[in-house]
Amino acid sequence: MQYVSIGLAVIALGVLGYFGYGYLLDYQEKANAERREAEQSADGGQMGHIADLHQGLDATDPNREPAVGSGRSGTPRSPSDSDTARPPERELPLLTAVHTLDLAAARIPEGRANGMISGTNFVVETARLDLAGTSHLLRLTQGSGVSPDREILVYLRPKAGEPLAGSTWAISSDMKGPNVPQVVKRWKPNPKFAPQSRPFATGYTMKLELGEMTDGEITGKIFLALPDPEKSVVAGIFKAVTASTSASPGGTVAPVAAPGIAPPPGNPEFEARYGIKR
């Protein structure tokens, strides 16, 4: 009987251990699930608090950058180059230049400088204002500067000490004399060969306005109509690169000559040096 009692006790303990172990496992799993849920709720509450904090900062500090994940950052944003840079310049339209030798009827369109040279369309791609001898040479060029497809050269001779910035010219077709700028048109009848040139000392009509110089550039407006059979004309707005500090008030003349451009026909300096007239 003693062995029977011991056997029954062992069997009972085994049954209780089997079912009790399963109960303990279920209890532990439920406890772990409740703990994880509590942790997630606590973290979500903290993240929600942080999001609310960023929203409040957004409303009071517009200089904050977006943060990773939340869309906002926690540090103020310092002004960048994009904040202080000037907005991109608007591309000017191409407006028709109307040829006329009547100065009163000449109009400068509010578009990119363009027109016709010797019967071929001309669009100013680059513009420069440099020294050429005693003159300031304005070059309005289409194509390569060394061998342009089409080009207009204007030799300006302001009075001594007079800055170019802010200057204007109004030249009628009947004006003559040393104060009248000389003009040269250059064009290629055949693109395989060097450009041809034809000077104009008088007979043309021109309105020219130069603005202020900024960062080595000077803005300008031009109307120029030539008395050639093809009725060459250029009119519109341009921005010229300049190496001459005399373009601004108080500047000194920079000894920079226009590359590859000789003084115009009839230049007094050329005649004094060589004793001939061209």
Q: What would the mean pLDDT of 130-157 be, rounded to a whole number? A: 92
Q: CA 220, CA 101: separation in Å to the nearest integer?
A: 21
Percent of the chain surpassing pLDDT 70? 57
Residue extents of the structural domains in the chain: 2-83, 103-255
Q: CA 233, CA 243: separation in Å to the nearest integer?
A: 27
pTM score: 0.60
Q: CA 241, CA 215: separation in Å to the nearest integer?
A: 9
Percent of the chain surpassing pLDDT 90? 44
- Of the pLDDT bands very low, low, confident and very high (cuts 50, 70, 90), residue 277 is very low
Residues 6+ apart with CB under 8 A from 80: none
Closest among 97, 116, 113 to 105, alpha carbons compared = 97
Residue 270 is inside which H or E element, if any? helix 268-274
What is the DSSP code (8-state) at residue 79? P
- Would you state the torsion angle of the CA atoms of residues 81, 87, 91, 95, taken in this order, to the nearest 10 degrees? -150
Residue 39 is inside which H or E element, if any? helix 2-60
pLDDT in tens, 91-106: 889 999 999 999 999 9
Q: What would the mean pLDDT of 250-267 be, rounded to a whole number? A: 46
* Cα atoms found within 13 Å of the Cα of residue 61, Cβ hemisphere only: 16
φ, ψ for residue 269, nearest 5 deg: -65, -40
Q: What would the mean pLDDT of 141-155 be, rounded to a whole number? A: 93
Q: CA 106, CA 87: separation in Å to the nearest integer?
A: 32
- At 34 the pLDDT is 73
Tokens 């207009």, residue?
152
Helix (H, G, I), strand (E, B) or coil at 218: strand
